A and B are shown apart, each in its own frame.
Chain A
Amino acid sequence: MLFFSLFKTLVDQEVTIELKNNLKLTGTIKSVDQFLNIKLDNISTPESHIDEDGDVVYLNNPHFAGLKNLFIRGSNIRYVHLKKSLVDCNLLQDAARRELSIEKREEK
């Protein structure tokens, strides 16, 4: 639930999501659920990206042309790039410790 809570605090903030098919999407998080599925608004794709063979791939993918908002299935996400100013590191570290100790207690 830690990262679900984190993403809930990032609603209405701009992030860049990198998918497992190497597509990068920048947009505003509109909503998020427990599977970390994310609804992104006002999306744009950065112009280019280098693939595994060293070729430049233009990522203004025609499939995404003209799309303004979309739902991303959480399992396809590789990274979410965040702005440091939006995240409280100390809070996050404490939350991670707390979450682990809760889980260990439940196991017993």
Chain B
Amino acid sequence: MSSLTLSNSSNNNVNDLVPLDLLRLNLDTKVIVKLRDCRELRGVLQAFDSHSNLVLSDCIETVYKLNENTDELEVLEKNESEMIFVRGDNVLVLTT
């Protein structure tokens, strides 16, 4: 909510925004993170750094498996974690 007001005043220009600013704007909101090995996390973004290490709270991890016959994703496993640190080298994309 207050992330915009806390930022540098020079950030009013869109050109000053770096990709990591998008993460900053998503702090304290629910995000979907796609990871390596067909994994996906849904949780509230609490922290990130330039390696895209993340901390998510109230997080649900879903592990998928690609069914090669039908080309569909099957859910293999669902895990919950109240607070999870994710090492950045697993992260593929982050979206809301």
Contacts and interface: CB of A to CB of B under 8 A. Distances in A.
Interface of A: 2-3, 6, 20, 36, 50, 52-54, 74-75, 77-84, 86-87, 89, 92-97, 99-101, 103-104
B83 A52 contact: no
Interface of B: 3, 6-8, 18, 20-21, 23-24, 27-28, 37-38, 46-50, 53, 55, 57, 61, 63, 65, 76-77, 81-87, 89-90
Contacts of A50: 76-77
Top-6 shortest CB links A-B:
A80-B85, A82-B83, A96-B47, A84-B82, A92-B47, A84-B83
Given A2-B47, A101-B7, 12 more contacts: A52-B76, A79-B61, A79-B86, A81-B84, A92-B55, A94-B6, A96-B27, A97-B7, A97-B24, A100-B23, A100-B24, A101-B8
B65 A6 contact: no
Q: Tell me whether chain A's interface is mostly helix, strand or loop, or mixed.
A: helix
Nearest to B87: A77
A79 B57 CA distance: 13
A16 to B, nearest CB: 9
A94 to B, nearest CB: 8
A78 B87 contact: yes
